[in-house]
């Protein structure tokens, strides 16, 4: 039998039909949209502290107000329903639920998420809850943060609070979003909160994030409904060597170990890759990994969340310019411990407002690799999208053809991967709303919905209407 997907696979300009049941959604993160930074018991996270530190964030922007989703959540859910989204991936703000990172939950914080989830369910939108999207309670950072083992125990306790409150409503859970950024940008290069620059602390943080993930999955399994799904979201880097030479191949291997296998190894295989341990042996003996940690980190998952924006191109170098073109922000400190002789290169061709190369072939190659490496683990694209210099015209319309082209071509890559055997179950567009884009402040717009920050007015962009039709029909139109 020839499927509809196979019929269109050889006709690149023909419509492409996605499998029945494919999940279409959009995603956000708590600190980027909620605002209400001091309301109802919420206390500072590391991103509150980081953003309020002069020189850390463009224009001195903070998430104090963001897009005011905390007060406008009902309006935002109505927008999702209007756009026909089948799912909404959001994150819980740890300090809104457990302000100090210890002790009992604040019911007002939990009530906010209860109301949000109930409204989503009423509108037929599947809630997908992420437990951690980078907003560690500042009190836990003051006690050492992710480089300290105790933070893993606090995360498991917080997970239990969230699961007890929402486990009867939420079927799909994600433990961590992009732990690579938390560990290596937060503690290595310092371009993300908490802004520390210690390569050993970054490696310690990576391990404790692995362990925290495993403990959180166990806490979820003990508390949520029997049909619930547990996952983790990784920003798997699609690493390409600049040339076909052995030296560049070794550079790609080093970065693949630090970017990808440092998490997929423990979480999915129960071991750190030997080459990673060898590459970093001059920095640490990894004695912070205790007996039983790797068994704890490796827990059965229902799917792997994959975030992809652009490929990573590397070569061997003499140690200069190590992190100038890795796409993760400028810093005199590297987020790549043990990779001092690796240089990063800007891929050729079109770029987004972030300066990231537009290359959907990287997403196809990445999905095929993951399907080969972990053949029994379904995949979900939990973030994919692009920032462009959007603006509202005099009629109040926002036309963004470059974003439509970006999403179209990346969805075509996903479809091609499915046709070629990848078990991809869903796609979440990043992001639902323009929002606080971390160290870039409000200067980068990723949203399908335009936000006029002075008034908070939401305007669906042309891409939102386009994506809505794809989500409703499951059919990607021809180019």
The alpha carbon of 393 is separated from its chain's Cα centroid by a whole number of angstroms, namely 31
Residue tagged 């997929």 (tokens): 264
95, burial (CB in 10 Å: exposed 0-12, middle 13-18, buried 19+): buried
CB 96 within 8 A of CB 41: yes
Task: Kindly tell me the sign of the dihedral angle through the C-alpha atoms of 397, 403, 404, 405.
Answer: positive
How distant, in Å, are the alpha carbons of 101, 168, 230, 300 from that of 225? 25, 6, 11, 16
Q: Could you tell me if 54 and 46 are in contact, meaning their C-beta atoms sit under 8 angstroms apart? A: no
SS3 of residue 176 by DSSP: strand
Hunting for tokens 């300290």 — which residue is that? 148
Using DSSP's 3-state secondary structure scheme, residue 29 falls into coil
Q: Give CA–CA dist 256/278, Å, rounded.
A: 14
Cβ neighbours of 372 (radius 10 Å): 10
- Look up 350 and say whether it is catalytic: no
List the beta bridge partners of residue 17: 475
Q: Can you give the C-alpha Rg of the chain in angstroms? A: 21
Report whether 177 contacts 185 (CB < 8 A).
Answer: no
82 is catalytic: no
Instruction: Give exposure, 184-208, as e/b (b: 16+ Cβ within 10 Å).
Output: bbbbbbbbbbbbbbbbebbbbbbbb
Residue 195 to residue 187: CA distance in whole angstroms: 6
DSSP 89-144: EEE--HHHHSTTSSSSPPHHHHHHHHHHHHHHHHTT-EEEEEEESS--BHHHHHTT
Task: Please provide the distance, in angstroms rounded to a whole number, between the alpha carbons at the two ends of the chain.
Answer: 27
**Residue 101 Ramachandran class (φ > 0 left, ψ -120 to 50 alpha, else beta):** left
Q: How many CB atoms lie within 10 A of CB 400?
A: 23
Q: Which of the following is catalytic: 157, 383, 395, 437?
A: 383
Query: 119, 141, 148, 178: which is the annotated catalytic residue?
Result: 178
DSSP reduced 3-state for 253: helix
- Residues catalogued as catalytic: 178, 383
């Amino acid at each position: 039998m020839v499927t509809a997907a196979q019929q269109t696979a050889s006709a690149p300009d023909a419509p492409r039909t996605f499998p029945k049941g494919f999940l279409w959604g959009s995603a956000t993160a708590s600190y980027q949209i909620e605002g209400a930074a001091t309301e109802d018991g919420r206390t500072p996270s590391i991103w509150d502290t980081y953003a309020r530190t002069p020189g850390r964030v463009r224009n001195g922007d903070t998430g104090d107000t963001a897009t005011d989703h905390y007060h406008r959540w009902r309006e935002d859910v109505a927008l999702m329903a209007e756009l026909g989204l089948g799912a909404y991936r959001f994150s819980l703000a740890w300090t809104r639920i457990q302000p100090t990172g210890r002790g009992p939950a604040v019911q007002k914080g939990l009530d906010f998420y209860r109301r949000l989830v109930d409204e989503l369910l009423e509108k037929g939108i599947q809630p997908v809850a992420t437990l951690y999207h980078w907003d560690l309670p500042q009190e836990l950072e003051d006690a050492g943060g992710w480089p300290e083992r105790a933070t893993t125990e606090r995360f498991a306790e917080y997970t239990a609070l969230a699961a007890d409150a929402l486990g009867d409503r939420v079927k799909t859970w994600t433990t961590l979003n992009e732990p690579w950024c938390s560990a290596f940008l937060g503690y290595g290069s310092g371009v993300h909160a908490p802004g520390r620059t210690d390569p050993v602390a970054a490696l310690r943080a990576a391990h404790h994030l692995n362990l925290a993930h495993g403990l959180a999955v166990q806490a979820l399994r003990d508390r949520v409904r029997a049909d619930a799904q547990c996952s983790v979201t990784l920003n798997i880097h699609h690493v390409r060597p600049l040339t076909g030479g052995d030296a560049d191949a070794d550079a790609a291997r080093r970065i693949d170990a630090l970017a990808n296998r440092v998490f997929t190894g423990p979480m999915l295989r129960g071991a750190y890759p030997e080459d990673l341990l060898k590459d970093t042996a001059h920095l640490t003996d990894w004695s912070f990994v205790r007996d039983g940690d790797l068994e704890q980190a490796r827990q059965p998952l229902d799917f792997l969340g994959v975030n992809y924006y652009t490929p990573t191109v590397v070569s061997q170098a003499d140690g200069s310019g190590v992190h100038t073109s890795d796409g993760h922000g400028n810093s005199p400190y590297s987020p790549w411990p043990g990779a001092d002789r690796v240089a990063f290169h800007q891929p050729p061709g079109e770029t987004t407002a972030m300066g990231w190369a537009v290359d959907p072939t990287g997403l196809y190659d990445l999905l095929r690799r993951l399907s080969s490496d972990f053949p029994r683990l379904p995949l979900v694209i939990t973030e994919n999208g692009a920032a462009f210099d959007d603006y509202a015209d005099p009629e109040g319309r926002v036309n963004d053809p470059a974003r439509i082209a970006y999403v179209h071509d990346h969805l075509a890559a996903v479809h091609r991967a499915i046709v070629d055997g990848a078990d991809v179950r869903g796609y979440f567009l990043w992001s639902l709303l323009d929002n606080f884009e971390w160290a870039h402040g409000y200067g980068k717009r990723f949203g399908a919905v335009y936000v006029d920050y002075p008034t908070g007015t939401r305007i669906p962009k042309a891409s939102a209407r386009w994506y809505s039709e794809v989500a409703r029909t499951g059919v990607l139109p021809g180019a």
